[in-house]
Structure 1
Amino acid sequence: MKVAELLVKCLEHEGVEYIFGVPGEENLDLMDALLDSPIEFIVTRHETSAAFMAGTYGRLTGKPGVCLATLGPGATNLVTGVANANMDQCPLIAITGQAGLNRQHKISHQYYDLISLYKPVTKWNAQVKTPGIVPEIVRKAYQVASEEKPGATHIDLPEDVAGMEIDAEPLPISPHALPQADESILQQAVQLIKEANQPIILAGNGITRGKASEALQTFALQARIPVVHSFMGKGALSWKDDLSLLTAGIGGNDYITCGFESSDLILAVGFDMAEYPPENWNPDRNTRILHIDTDDAETDSHYPVALNVVGDIKENLKELSAIIQPKDNPLEWVESIRKQALNELAEAADDEGFPVKPQKIISDLRNVLHDEDIVISDVGAHKMWMARMYHTTHPNTCLISNGLASMGVAVPGAIAAKMVCPERNVVAVCGDGAFQMTSAELETAVRLNLPIIILLWRDGGYGLIEWKQLRDFQRPAYIDFGNPDFIKLAQSYGFEAMQIEKADELKPALQQAIAMNKPILIDCPVDYDENMKLTEKLGQIDC
């Protein structure tokens, strides 16, 4: 068989369902081989979108999503989405076509050294320089992308090698299990918790990856320790639980800041520093950290680790639950924080202001969607509101990128999420700036007949940048842009579309969108004057 056919056979062996990408001249052999494969190739309208889709697939399934591009501009377009998956710790394999080996030693049309280009944004990468190494490269790419902590890997396939003949088979797949912490370490962890007067748990993305949310809930209830979530850890403990301190990470003051300030031990469980810099929640560096994760903690002066509990998060939490004694510390402060935060959402339910306030948009969205439905937030001012106020019951039901945090992720991500979870409603929450970066993928959603909902927060500018400019400089700079007629744009791609003209139209529109079960866009003007009002309000919090 050809090398390209062997590569496809190896991907089939690994259980790959989809490859997202844009074909090119240098991967013609690979595209032809896929015609005879059960793997479905999903043609996207931009390579970055392909990588966003693969990353979302990886985040939701735990299996590497696969994306493909040709050499040169195709490969450089793919980089942003690959970097996004890598920093969000979503398993992904990127495959790039490449110039033949016979012209890589000189300046050549569209040739760049992609191994060097992708090295900083992946866990591992390699070029297929000879036919016989394909099974090893695919097996290692899949293994490295999948193992904790997951991320991106990259395979570079020169066009002349892709067409060479080879007789080989995929390598066997060997399961990999994480170890558990030693009993002595677990006992030391229990002692640290016992000595603490007001411990809190900071729940990160690793809990979801490790399928440890149930174990965390058991541990938190057994120990009577409240839980605050990072943006990417949302849903580790249901927002309805009395121990849930909801979500932190907006920066600066917030209600939960009081909890961090008064805590003398923070149990960071499955937490990655890219999610929420420790200097934001441990500025004085005097609160000790009990680090519970699959790997030792990153070195950071604001993250003074008293003990590392390393290994399988779920199993280690189960062991801790079996030997921990409940804390008898008062938790009235938890009730106070929950009441203040949840009241904000409740008070917004009947707000009639127009353009619609962010709080009202989120209140209507939360009231309409089921607990298992999936919301994917793009990056912008709306992301801060969604992270803070869209409360979740289950992990992976509000997807927020907080590693690389690239704009444009929501629409491609919603497409992949609907492919993975067709039985759930999937909503992409986008600002108008981020939406236009990947709006061409509306055609992809229509072509694949995927009934996703796009909830567009329209303000005609880069709202998050303006928010920070007003906070730091008291005036905006270069954030305004023009918009197309989003209703006509969506309809031209085959989407249904609704225009919100009064605040009380949004909730019925969302309900109608769900009932229609078609690709649909809802254009909702948003009042971002609320941004600075929130900044002022949070600045007045006195712990």
Structure 2
Amino acid sequence: MKASDLFVKCLEAEGVERIFGVPGEENADFMISLLESKIEFVLCRHEQAAAFMADAYGRLTGKAGVCLATLGPGATNLVTGVADANMDRAPLVAIIGQGSTARLHKESHQNMDAIAMFEPITKWASTINNEQTIPEITRKAFKIAQTEKPGATVIELPEDVAKRDVELQPMPMVKTRRPAADWKAVAAAVDLIGEAKTPLILAGNGAVRKRSAKQVRRLASKAGIPVVNTFMGKGAVPLDDPHCLFTIGLQGKDHVLKAFGEADLIISIGYDLVEYAPEFWNKSRDKKIIHIDYDPAEIDEAYPVNVDIVADVADAVWQINEALNARFEGRLPLHEIGSWSGLRTTIYEDLMAQENDAAYPMKPQRMISDIRKALGASDILLSDVGAHKMWISRYYQCYEENTCLISNGFCSMGFALPGAIGATYAHPDVNVVAVCGDAGFLMNVQDLETAVREKRKLVCIVWLDGEYGLIKWKQQNHFDGKHSPLAFSNPNFEMLAGSFGMWGRHVKTADDFMPVLTEALAHDGPSLITVDVDYEENQKLTKRLGEIELPI
């Protein structure tokens, strides 16, 4: 068979069901081979969007999302989405084309060292220089991408290698078992939990992968310990669970930091330091810390770990739960979760304070409250990056893990719309909503056409303020209210939606938002909602949080 035929068979052996991408001349043999496969090719309108689709698909399925681009500018267009997947721990395999190996040693058309470009932003990247290596390289790319902590890998296929004849078969896919926790480390963790007066669980990105959330909930209930989640750990404990103390992540003060101020032990589970630096919650450097993750704890002076448990997270927490049962039989839970009810009530009332505010432009709080009410427990919200991300991260709470996707490691604008398209392929049976700012939305607006053509059922809600709102907010906070020029103009979004052949509405009053959202969710296809947002609330929130008194 041709080498490109073998490559496709290797992808089939890995369980690949679809590839998101934009092909080029150098992918031609691969694309023709793909015609004979059951693998679906989702033609996109920009390579960055294709990578974001694969990013979200990988996060939600646990299987590597696959994206494709040609050489040169096609490969460079993939970079942001690939880097986002890598830093946000999404399994992704990118396939890129390359010119003939006969011309790569010299100056030639669109020739660049793409592998060198991808190496700093991926777990692994390699070129198929020899058709005999296709099964090994493919197997390695998927194994590395999907092994905890997951991330991105890249396979480059030169056009002349793709044409060569080869007589090989794919390598079998063998499940890799993650190691169990060391029994001494588990015993030491149980010692600290037993000695602690006010322990606190910090649930990060890894706490919502690989069955981990179930064990986190068991630990919280068994020991009577409250749980705070990062932006990317939402849903580790349901929002209506009394053990849930909601979300941490704003770099200023917030009510939830009171819990960290009072805690003498932090049990961090699946916590990535890229999510929220420990210097913000451990300023005094006096917390005892149990680190439970797939990798050893990062070295950080604000993160002095007492017990470092490096193992499968779900299994490690399960072992701790079983050890607690054995050591404290008849005395569980160790702590009374009701002692945290006052703080939980304070936070909850703060989050709900303006849920019915009828002002227009709409308050961010009202919009998030309405979205939460409109969506079911298993429905998925994706947040783009901008001022709205800070509001969603603080205010939007979840009942289940992996129902709110936020780019918070790499923080990529333009993520939510294509990510939502990817999410509809991962979970076609739930509602999918992308919330974007007007700046981030227009960065990948071209793939509305993909959503329409592919008949994807999703709702994109765009918050309009005509500025780079988050940059303005940050500058105002640091420079006494001053900011650089950040305003821009917008198109008529209802006409824009119509030009793509899709449903679109502009909300003109706060009370109209919920009916319009309800109609959009019932629509069989992509929908676009735009609404003017009152970002004067940004500075009001900064001032209000700055007045919170926290324990030293």
Asked whether the two chains share a fold, i.e. TM above 0.5, the reply is yes
Residue in 2 that maps onto 1:491: 498
Residue in 2 that maps onto 1:134: 134
TM-fit CA distance, 1:185: 1.7
Residue in 1 that maps onto 2:521: 514
TM-fit CA distance, 1:405: 1.1
Does 2:359 match 1:353? yes
Deviates more, 1:175-184 or 1:362-371: 175-184
TM-fit CA distance, 1:345: 3.5
The answer to whether the 8 Å contact 1:344/1:359 transfers is no
Residue in 2 that maps onto 1:281: 281
TM-fit CA distance, 1:327: 5.8
SS of residue paired to 2:544: helix
TM-fit CA distance, 1:215: 1.1
Aligned mates of 1:489, 1:314 — CA distance in 2: 46
Residue in 2 that maps onto 1:504: 511
Instruction: Specify every segment of 5 or more residues in structure 2 that has no aligned partner in the other structure, as ranges.
Output: none
Does 2:543 match 1:528? no
Q: Aligned AA for 1:174? A: V
Q: Aligned AA for 2:175? A: P
Deviations 1:298-347 (A, max 9, x none): 11111100011121211221221122244655656632222122213433
The answer to whether the 8 Å contact 2:223/2:334 transfers is no
Deviates more, 1:529-538 or 1:468-477: 468-477
Deviations 1:433-478 (A, max 9, x none): 0000001111000001112101111100111111111111111212
* Mapping for residues 85-234 of structure 1, pairs under 5 Å: 85-234=85-234
Aligned mates of 1:331, 1:373 — CA distance in 2: 29
Aligned mates of 1:217, 1:25 — CA distance in 2: 51
TM-fit CA distance, 1:232: 0.5
Residue in 1 that maps onto 2:420: 414
TM-fit CA distance, 1:14: 0.6
Aligned mates of 1:150, 1:527 — CA distance in 2: 38
Deviations 1:117-167 (A, max 9, x none): 110011011100111000000000010001011100000111111111111
* Mapping for residues 327-476 of structure 1, pairs under 5 Å: 328-329=334-335, 331=337, 334-473=340-479, 474-476=481-483
SS of residue paired to 1:213: helix
TM-fit CA distance, 1:280: 1.3
TM-fit CA distance, 1:518: 2.6
Deviations 1:83-120 (A, max 9, x none): 00000010000111011111111111111101101100
Q: Aligned AA for 1:214? A: K
Aligned mates of 1:90, 1:175 — CA distance in 2: 18
Sequence identity (%):
49
Residue in 2 that maps onto 1:61: 61
SS of residue paired to 1:101: coil
The answer to whether the 8 Å contact 2:242/2:337 transfers is no
SS of residue paired to 1:102: coil
Deviates more, 1:332-341 or 1:232-241: 332-341
The answer to whether the 8 Å contact 1:446/1:519 transfers is yes
The answer to whether the 8 Å contact 1:378/1:431 transfers is yes
TM-fit CA distance, 1:183: 2.2
* Count of aligned pairs: 543
The answer to whether the 8 Å contact 2:5/2:30 transfers is yes
Deviates more, 1:473-482 or 1:112-121: 473-482
TM-score by length of 1: 0.98
Aligned mates of 1:72, 1:182 — CA distance in 2: 47
Does 2:546 match 1:539? yes
Q: Aligned AA for 2:495? A: K
Aligned mates of 2:292, 2:436 — CA distance in 1: 34
Deviations 1:65-92 (A, max 9, x none): 1101000000000011000000001000
Aligned mates of 2:371, 2:343 — CA distance in 1: 23
The answer to whether the 8 Å contact 1:194/1:327 transfers is no
Instruction: Specify every segment of 5 or more residues in structure 1 that has no aligned partner in the other structure, as ranges.
Output: none
Deviates more, 1:160-169 or 1:323-332: 323-332
Aligned mates of 2:275, 2:173 — CA distance in 1: 32
SS of residue paired to 1:454: strand
The answer to whether the 8 Å contact 2:180/2:312 transfers is yes
Residue in 2 that maps onto 1:323: 323
Aligned mates of 1:122, 1:356 — CA distance in 2: 40
Q: Aligned AA for 2:384? A: D
Aligned mates of 1:387, 1:215 — CA distance in 2: 23
SS of residue paired to 1:273: coil
TM-fit CA distance, 1:498: 0.9
Q: Aligned AA for 2:188? A: Q
SS of residue paired to 1:521: strand
Q: Aligned AA for 1:221? A: S
SS of residue paired to 1:402: coil
Aligned mates of 2:353, 2:312 — CA distance in 1: 41
The answer to whether the 8 Å contact 2:69/2:78 transfers is yes
Aligned mates of 1:95, 1:497 — CA distance in 2: 35
* Mapping for residues 9-88 of structure 1, pairs under 5 Å: 9-88=9-88
SS of residue paired to 2:285: coil
Aligned mates of 1:333, 1:124 — CA distance in 2: 47
